[in-house]
Structure 1
Amino acid sequence: MIKQVILWMLFLVSGSTLSVSESQSASLLPHAAESFNVSYIQMKNAGSCSYSVAISTSCSSPRYTRDHVSIAFGDAYGNQIYAPRLDDPASGTFESCSSDTFQISGPCAYQICYVYLYRSGSDGWKPESVKINSYNGRPVTFYYNTYVPRDTWYGFDLCNSASSTSSQVSMQKWLIFMVLGFVLSFWL
């Protein structure tokens, strides 16, 4: 009887662990930003900070692009950094199998949790990843490995997923303790 209860408990715990893992990986895919507004830049921090942004272009991207590429990124508190033009076809920016690093200044932000790229033009472009280093947070890398659609802000918003993931883990721990309590009540 006790063995059956323990096996049932392990099955329940492993099933809830799998559901948390699946929800995390699904939220890590780039998507079009339906309601993203680049004009909303919160200027509550008086200072200006510098960010190092390294963008790697996929080897399956066109050899070069003449498309205009912009970036916007920020934190969960509304601090947004925006660079309207990163591209420079004359210098070979965004060639396939290459990496380009940009120094971008903007409002001081906390941990960067979202990034969107915007592409206009007809050449096409496939970024591999975007890595952002800031003074006030740990470096963060967003993995695209897909073409950026034309005339659309496209990327990641993980600002809310961090809190929802922690609440899912808390719920999972609560469930484990409930099951353990149930098992121990029969044992004692």
Structure 2
Amino acid sequence: MKILFFLLISSLIIFSTQARSIIPRPQPLSSLKQDEGNCNYVVIITTSTSSSSAPDDVSLRFGDAYGNDILVPHIDTASLHPGMEHTFVVNGTCVNATVCYLFIYVSGNEGWMPQDVSIVELGGVQLDFPFNAHIPNNTWFGHNNCFPPPPPSPPPPAPAPAPANAASLAVE
């Protein structure tokens, strides 16, 4: 009887260790891949319906508390119209932890107001950064939910010079 009980318990242990979960695990988005130390992130910018026209230049900076920083210079502002959502993929350094800060740099037409900016990480985690405020001109503005704070912001790359013509030359 003891042998039969031992065999029954042993077989239950063996079969239970080989059982697989039937609950599917979350999978990364197919558009988000990781290769050679870089990762893709989906960035979603929703412009407020109260916003004026898009600024001349918009740059983003986001990252984690470990100094992994992704700079997105000169976003195509053509689709940053009031009430519209602009989605694009960014390739940058892989973060070691969840993205915890996001800053926006704006230059040009004042009055542009993003409603929120979302970052979707490799694992499909979406992080939302609400704004609903006018972004000050020529300064990094945003959210820092990290501890410790990230390193200081670098200035955005200089915009490409416009072609010179007689009408655009000014004398000071």
TM range (shorter): 0.5 to 0.7
Distance 2:45 2:90 in 1: 13
The alpha-carbon deviation at position 65 of structure 1 amounts to 1.7
2:91 aligned partner: 105
Q: 1:58 aligns with which of 25, 48, 73?
A: 48
Distance 1:134 1:152 in 2: 26
* 1:1-47 deviation per Cα after TM superposition (whole angstroms, max 9, x unaligned): xxxxxxxxxxxxxxxxxxxxxxxxxxxxxxxxxxxxxxxxxxxx951
What's the TM-score, normalizing by structure 1? 0.56
Q: 1:95 aligns with which of 72, 81, 84?
A: 81
Structure 1 residues 1-188: aligned runs within 5 Å:
47-62=37-52, 64-89=53-78, 93-109=79-95, 110-136=97-123, 138-160=125-147
What residue ranges of structure 2 are gaps of 5+ in the alignment? Answer: 1-34, 149-172
For the Cα contact (< 8 Å) 1:53–1:103, is it kept in 2? yes
Amino acid at match of 1:47: G
Amino acid at match of 2:39: C
The alpha-carbon deviation at position 106 of structure 1 amounts to 0.3
Distance 2:144 2:60 in 1: 13
Distance 2:45 2:77 in 1: 14
Amino acid at match of 1:127: P
1:8 aligned partner: none
Q: Mean alpha-carbon deviation: is it higher for 99-108 or for 152-161?
A: 152-161
Distance 1:156 1:52 in 2: 18
Specify the SS of the correspondent of 1:135.
coil
Runs of 4+ in 1 over 2 A off after TM superposition: none
Specify the SS of the correspondent of 2:125.
strand
For the Cα contact (< 8 Å) 1:133–1:140, is it kept in 2? yes
* 1:113-141 deviation per Cα after TM superposition (whole angstroms, max 9, x unaligned): 00000000034310000110011572110
For the Cα contact (< 8 Å) 1:46–1:107, is it kept in 2? no
Aligned sequence identity (%):
39
What's the TM-score, normalizing by structure 2? 0.62
For the Cα contact (< 8 Å) 1:58–1:128, is it kept in 2? yes
Distance 2:76 2:136 in 1: 16
Decide which structure has greater helix share: 1
